[in-house]
Protein backbone atom coordinates (compact mmCIF):
# COMPACT_ATOMS: atom_id res chain seq x y z
CA UNK A 1 0.00 0.00 0.00
CA UNK A 2 2.83 2.42 0.86
CA UNK A 3 4.54 1.65 -2.48
CA UNK A 4 1.32 2.45 -4.37
CA UNK A 5 1.03 5.77 -2.51
CA UNK A 6 4.65 6.71 -3.35
CA UNK A 7 4.14 5.75 -7.02
CA UNK A 8 0.97 7.87 -7.20
CA UNK A 9 2.78 10.81 -5.60
CA UNK A 10 5.66 10.56 -8.08
CA UNK A 11 3.24 10.29 -11.01
CA UNK A 12 1.29 13.37 -9.89
CA UNK A 13 4.43 15.46 -9.46
CA UNK A 14 5.71 14.41 -12.90
CA UNK A 15 2.37 15.27 -14.53
CA UNK A 16 2.07 18.71 -12.88
CA UNK A 17 2.49 21.56 -15.35
CA UNK A 18 5.60 23.65 -14.86
CA UNK A 19 3.98 26.99 -15.86
CA UNK A 20 2.95 27.97 -12.34
CA UNK A 21 4.31 31.14 -10.87
CA UNK A 22 4.69 34.66 -12.22
CA UNK A 23 5.70 35.12 -15.84
CA UNK A 24 9.22 36.33 -16.56
CA UNK A 25 9.52 40.10 -16.59
CA UNK A 26 11.29 42.12 -19.28
CA UNK A 27 12.00 45.72 -18.43
CA UNK A 28 12.14 48.08 -21.40
CA UNK A 29 12.88 51.26 -19.56
CA UNK A 30 13.17 52.41 -15.98
CA UNK A 31 13.25 55.78 -14.31
CA UNK A 32 14.07 58.72 -16.51
CA UNK A 33 13.59 61.35 -13.84
CA UNK A 34 9.96 61.06 -12.80
CA UNK A 35 9.07 58.67 -15.64
CA UNK A 36 9.18 54.95 -16.22
CA UNK A 37 7.77 52.21 -18.41
CA UNK A 38 7.94 48.44 -18.39
CA UNK A 39 6.42 45.38 -20.02
CA UNK A 40 6.18 41.89 -18.57
CA UNK A 41 6.58 38.64 -20.47
CA UNK A 42 2.83 38.08 -20.58
CA UNK A 43 2.07 41.48 -22.15
CA UNK A 44 1.27 43.65 -19.13
CA UNK A 45 2.48 47.19 -19.87
CA UNK A 46 2.81 50.16 -17.51
CA UNK A 47 4.04 53.69 -18.13
CA UNK A 48 4.10 56.95 -16.18
CA UNK A 49 5.46 60.44 -16.74
CA UNK A 50 5.76 63.14 -14.12
CA UNK A 51 6.39 66.88 -14.28
CA UNK A 52 7.10 69.15 -11.29
CA UNK A 53 4.43 71.84 -10.80
CA UNK A 54 4.22 75.03 -8.81
CA UNK A 55 6.53 76.45 -6.17
CA UNK A 56 6.29 73.37 -3.92
CA UNK A 57 7.61 71.10 -6.67
CA UNK A 58 4.70 68.67 -6.41
CA UNK A 59 4.78 66.21 -9.30
CA UNK A 60 1.81 65.90 -11.64
CA UNK A 61 1.69 62.37 -13.04
CA UNK A 62 0.01 60.84 -16.05
CA UNK A 63 0.23 57.41 -17.55
CA UNK A 64 -1.56 54.14 -17.83
CA UNK A 65 -1.40 50.40 -18.06
CA UNK A 66 -2.73 47.69 -20.32
CA UNK A 67 -3.09 43.94 -20.26
CA UNK A 68 -4.92 41.15 -22.07
CA UNK A 69 -7.75 39.16 -20.50
CA UNK A 70 -7.70 35.35 -20.79
CA UNK A 71 -10.41 35.58 -23.47
CA UNK A 72 -8.08 37.70 -25.66
CA UNK A 73 -9.76 41.08 -25.17
CA UNK A 74 -7.53 43.96 -24.19
CA UNK A 75 -7.82 46.31 -21.23
CA UNK A 76 -6.49 49.86 -21.37
CA UNK A 77 -6.49 52.25 -18.40
CA UNK A 78 -5.12 55.79 -18.32
CA UNK A 79 -4.85 58.25 -15.45
CA UNK A 80 -3.89 61.79 -14.49
CA UNK A 81 -2.87 62.76 -10.95
CA UNK A 82 -2.37 66.48 -10.34
CA UNK A 83 -3.66 69.32 -8.20
CA UNK A 84 -7.21 68.54 -9.38
CA UNK A 85 -7.01 64.99 -7.97
CA UNK A 86 -6.66 61.47 -9.36
CA UNK A 87 -8.72 60.78 -12.48
CA UNK A 88 -8.94 57.42 -14.25
CA UNK A 89 -10.31 56.76 -17.72
CA UNK A 90 -11.15 53.34 -19.13
CA UNK A 91 -13.91 51.57 -21.00
CA UNK A 92 -13.82 49.02 -18.16
CA UNK A 93 -15.13 51.46 -15.54
CA UNK A 94 -18.83 51.24 -14.77
CA UNK A 95 -20.97 54.21 -15.72
CA UNK A 96 -24.21 55.20 -13.99
CA UNK A 97 -27.55 55.01 -15.74
CA UNK A 98 -28.96 58.37 -16.83
CA UNK A 99 -31.38 59.95 -14.37
CA UNK A 100 -35.07 59.80 -15.26
CA UNK A 101 -36.86 63.07 -16.03
CA UNK A 102 -38.80 63.13 -12.74
CA UNK A 103 -35.55 62.84 -10.74
CA UNK A 104 -33.97 65.71 -12.67
CA UNK A 105 -37.11 67.82 -12.06
CA UNK A 106 -36.96 67.06 -8.30
CA UNK A 107 -33.27 68.02 -8.15
CA UNK A 108 -34.02 71.30 -9.93
CA UNK A 109 -36.91 72.04 -7.55
CA UNK A 110 -34.66 71.44 -4.53
CA UNK A 111 -32.01 73.71 -6.04
CA UNK A 112 -34.57 76.51 -6.50
CA UNK A 113 -35.84 76.06 -2.91
CA UNK A 114 -32.29 76.20 -1.56
CA UNK A 115 -31.60 79.37 -3.55
CA UNK A 116 -34.82 80.99 -2.26
CA UNK A 117 -33.99 80.04 1.34
CA UNK A 118 -30.48 81.46 0.97
CA UNK A 119 -31.90 84.73 -0.39
CA UNK A 120 -34.30 85.02 2.57
CA UNK A 121 -31.76 84.09 5.23
CA UNK A 122 -30.18 87.55 5.15
CA UNK A 123 -33.54 89.31 5.85
CA UNK A 124 -34.48 87.61 9.11
CA UNK A 125 -32.53 87.21 12.29
CA UNK A 126 -32.68 84.26 14.64
CA UNK A 127 -35.65 84.16 17.04
CA UNK A 128 -35.17 85.84 20.39
CA UNK A 129 -34.72 83.70 23.45
CA UNK A 130 -35.17 86.44 26.07
CA UNK A 131 -38.83 87.29 25.31
CA UNK A 132 -38.27 90.96 25.97
CA UNK A 133 -36.59 90.42 29.33
CA UNK A 134 -32.96 91.37 29.77
- pLDDT tens-digit readout, 71-118: 989 999 999 998 888 999 999 888 888 899 999 999 999 999 988 888
Would you say residue 85 lies in a domain?
Answer: yes
The whole-angstrom separation of Cα 42 and Cα 38 is 12
Would you say residue 66 lies in a domain?
Answer: yes
Asked whether the CA dihedral 39, 41, 43, 44 is positive or negative, the reply is: negative
Model pLDDT, residue 45: 92
Domain of residue 67, residue span: 23-89
Would you say residue 114 lies in a domain?
Answer: no
Would you say residue 64 lies in a domain?
Answer: yes
Would you say residue 125 lies in a domain?
Answer: no
pLDDT digits (tens, 9 = 90+) for 19-43: 555 555 555 444 445 788 888 888 8
- As for how many domains the chain has, the answer is 1
The model's confidence at residue 67, banded by pLDDT at 50, 70 and 90, is very high
- This prediction has a pTM of 0.49
Would you say residue 73 lies in a domain?
Answer: yes
Model pLDDT, residue 23: 56
Q: Which long-range contacts (CB under 8 A, 24 or more apart) does 63-66 make?
A: none
Model pLDDT, residue 58: 77
Would you say residue 55 lies in a domain?
Answer: yes
Would you say residue 4 lies in a domain?
Answer: no
Amino acid sequence: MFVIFICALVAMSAAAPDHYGPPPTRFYGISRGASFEFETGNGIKREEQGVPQGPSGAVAMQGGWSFTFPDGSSADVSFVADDAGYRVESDLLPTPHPLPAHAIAQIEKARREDAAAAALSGRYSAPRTSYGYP
